[in-house]
Chain A
Amino acid sequence: MALSFNLSWVDYTIMIIYFIFVLGIGWALKKQMKDASAFLEAGRSLPAWVTGLAFISANLGALEVIGMAASGAKYGMATVHFYWIGAIPAMIFLAIFMMPFYYGSKARSVPEYLKLRFDEKTRGFNAFSFAIMTIFASGISMYALALLMKTLLGWNFHMSLVVSAAIVLVYTYLGGLSSAIYNEVLQFFLIVIGFLPLVIIGMIKIGGWDGMVEKLAMDPMTSGLQHSWQNISPTHPMGSWMGIFFGLGFVLSFGYWCTNFLVVQRAMAAGSMSAARKTPLIGAFPKMFIPFLVIVPGMIAIALLNSGDELFVLPMKGGSYDYDLVVPMLLQRFLPAGVLGLGLTALMASFMSGMAGNVTAFNTVFTYDIYQSYIVPGKSDSHYLTVGRITTIVGVAVSILTAYVAAMFNNVMDFLQLIFAFINAPLFAAFLMGMFTKRTTGHGAFWGLLTGTFSAALVHGFTQPAGATSLVKGGWSGTVLKVFPSEMVQNFWIAIIAFSVALVATIVISQFTKRTKTDEELKGLVYSLTPKVVDDSKHWYQSPVFLAWTVGAIAIVLSIIFW
């Protein structure tokens, strides 16, 4: 197998310089970490363009670059649904409608918002599930990075794991959330600039977009992959219009972008209400164009395979191509020493930004929502700063452990991810009802969440994706009522059903339970009880509403062009 990159001294020089800058940013911020708020909330002082790029970069982790290129090779441009319909509407909604409550309330985290709006048990449920989930996500990132370095560069797995964890630990320990955010901005530019040469050279090789379309058409199986909507049908691996619109575009997307503290935390670190509302919108501009950097390479790879490029090989795995290797194999095919080092550094940067994002979200939720709430309340600020720092170390250490769990028991990880998916699907129902109706009660939200989670598990038990081999994929009840064309479509429908059940349950239970919070207490937390935010942008074209319309319009135009 042609899987060894021979790196030259230039490649290593670039890598080392990058790591020096990453650590240097943490070190430069060290002196400013005087209180818990500075360490865990970046002192709520960052400019909108910084939080906006970090918002996208925190999400541009390992799964994104490797996974989206793989998906681009398998499903073509249909993968953009994860970027356009599956992100932009939710980001606009977060900016315009939800940020005023997150930023305007005194909440320091998403679970804390739930405590202010509902009650202790709803917060606890969210805080614990989120804390465990982020640690596992961080562990999976580390595992994937170490595995890739071992496959590509022949580096020692344990060494790669420990060294990457140590780098992330040092810069998040020194500079806290600010350090993670500033580094995410650096990583954002590195990822874009590092992958551009690959996309440009690849495109020239296959004769531009038209050449690519022509070469995709050489194989009836891959013909038409350049369309995003045209091939969508109930038998398509991405499923029907309904599933994409409601499952991906509504429930999963709003559930992720609007309630996941990992991304919301970036917006909450902004310096003003206006900057906080602009954060997701500024992030939306690059988000819309990232597909050309991560999905298009997958399609370039297929075009190369179809037209028989003698220098490009894609290794096989279990009877089909190993699509996860699309990006590394393209790097090897097109980039000589020098830019190759840059590309690999960009790849590492994407893993690390994912890891650091999870670690900084974890330490905030743990310190404020678990430690300060349940373990040791009422101590001084410097006490919680110390706890925040120790949590960072513990978080990274536990991540390393989970990386080893991932390495040893693949099924355990699949199972855990499944459970988190069940918990996440109904979450947006609680936020939607809580933010927009004052009648929704804590009992309603909490039992709505549990009912939704339970119904997700139930749907999973009675359905299966085509070709399922293990019970972790579904059908554990023994009776399979519906077979979906793919796991993705199954996920969309589980999300739709879980959300609907949670919504109905929240409404019904709220009607039968007493409100525990007065109108006065809900001020700033519920739409009807909060004075409308007046935007203080200097120019009309800087206002969040104008930015939102622009983002929406560009997303629609892009969808039409790549229909």
Chain B
Amino acid sequence: MGLDIKIPIGLMFTIFGVILGIYGLATEGSDMYVKSLNYNVNLWSGIAMFIFGLGMLLFSDIMKKKVKK
């Protein structure tokens, strides 16, 4: 069945990464992070997910085709 699942996975995590990253920046220093031991988990997980998502997209078939052209 033809569906390159790397594309939806990549897209979803890139979007999650952007949302959590921006939300993390906007709430930097807020006392809601007391729970997570003063780490801004939103910012850090956002960055990690963004990188993961882009990596998935990079290895997907559309990117491979573009490089060949």
Residues of A within 8 A of B (CB): 10, 13-14, 17-18, 21, 24-25, 28-29, 32, 38, 42-43, 45-46, 50, 178, 182, 185-186, 189, 193, 196-197, 201, 204-205, 311, 333-339, 342
User: With A189-B9, A338-B23, A339-B45 known to touch, is A201 a contact of B37 (CB < 8 Å)?
Assistant: yes
Output the nearest chain A residue to B5 by Cβ-Cβ distance: A182
Within 8 A of A (CB), among B11-63: 11-13, 15-16, 19-20, 23-24, 27, 32-33, 35-37, 39, 41-42, 44-45, 48-49, 52
Residues of B within 8 A of A (CB): 1-3, 5, 8-9, 11-13, 15-16, 19-20, 23-24, 27, 32-33, 35-37, 39, 41-42, 44-45, 48-49, 52
Contact of A201 among B12, B16, B27, B39 (CB under 8 A): B39
Chain B nearest CB from A329 CB (Å) reads: 12
List residues of chain B with CB within 8 A of the CB of A336.
Answer: 27, 32-33, 35-36, 41-42
Assess whether B36 is in contact with A185, with CB atoms less than 8 Å apart: no
User: With A182-B3, A334-B35 known to touch, is A17 a contact of B45 (CB < 8 Å)?
Assistant: no
Assess whether B5 is in contact with A201, with CB atoms less than 8 Å apart: no
Chain A nearest CB from B37 CB (Å) reads: 6
List residues of chain A with CB within 8 A of the CB of B36.
Answer: 197, 201, 334-336, 339
Assess whether A186 is in contact with B8, with CB atoms less than 8 Å apart: yes
User: With A45-B1, A201-B37 known to touch, is A185 a contact of B9 (CB < 8 Å)?
Assistant: yes
Chain B nearest CB from A492 CB (Å) reads: 38
List residues of chain B with CB within 8 A of the CB of A43.
Answer: 1
What are 6 inter-chain pairs, A to B, with CB distance below 8 A?
A29-B1, A178-B1, A189-B52, A335-B35, A336-B42, A338-B24
Q: Count A/B pairs, Cβ under 8 Å.
A: 92
Known: A46-B1, A201-B36; 7 extra A-B contacts, CB below 8 A, are: A17-B12, A42-B1, A201-B39, A204-B37, A334-B36, A336-B35, A342-B16
List residues of chain B with CB within 8 A of the CB of A189.
Answer: 9, 13, 52
Chain A nearest CB from B29 CB (Å) reads: 12
User: With A10-B19, A336-B33, A336-B35 known to touch, is A50 a contact of B41 (CB < 8 Å)?
Assistant: no
| Cα separation A339 to B46 with both chains bound (whole Å) | 9
User: With A201-B36, A333-B35, A342-B20 known to touch, is A18 a contact of B41 (CB < 8 Å)?
Assistant: no
| Cα separation A196 to B41 with both chains bound (whole Å) | 11
Assess whether A339 is in contact with B13, with CB atoms less than 8 Å apart: no
List residues of chain B with CB within 8 A of the CB of A14.
Answer: 16, 19-20
Assess whether B9 is in contact with A205, with CB atoms less than 8 Å apart: no
Main secondary structure, interface of A, reads helix
List residues of chain B with CB within 8 A of the CB of A42.
Answer: 1
User: With A201-B41, A338-B41 known to touch, is A13 a contact of B35 (CB < 8 Å)?
Assistant: no
| Cα separation A267 to B51 with both chains bound (whole Å) | 30
List residues of chain B with CB within 8 A of the CB of A25.
Answer: 3, 5, 8
Output the nearest chain B residue to A193 by Cβ-Cβ distance: B49
Output the nearest chain B residue to A176 by Cβ-Cβ distance: B1
Assess whether B37 is in contact with A205, with CB atoms less than 8 Å apart: yes
Assess whether B12 is in contact with A21, with CB atoms less than 8 Å apart: yes
Output the nearest chain B residue to A20 by Cβ-Cβ distance: B12
List residues of chain A with CB within 8 A of the CB of B2.
Answer: 32
List residues of chain B with CB within 8 A of the CB of A186.
Answer: 5, 8-9, 12
List residues of chain A with CB within 8 A of the CB of B37.
Answer: 201, 204-205
Assess whether B35 is in contact with A342, with CB atoms less than 8 Å apart: no
Assess whether A338 is in contact with B42, with CB atoms less than 8 Å apart: yes
| Cα separation A342 to B44 with both chains bound (whole Å) | 13
Chain A nearest CB from B58 CB (Å) reads: 15
List residues of chain A with CB within 8 A of the CB of B19.
Answer: 10, 13-14, 17
List residues of chain A with CB within 8 A of the CB of B41.
Answer: 197, 201, 335-336, 338-339
Chain A nearest CB from B21 CB (Å) reads: 10
Assess whether A29 is in contact with B23, with CB atoms less than 8 Å apart: no
List residues of chain A with CB within 8 A of the CB of B13.
Answer: 189, 193
Contact of A338 among B1, B20, B39 (CB under 8 A): B20
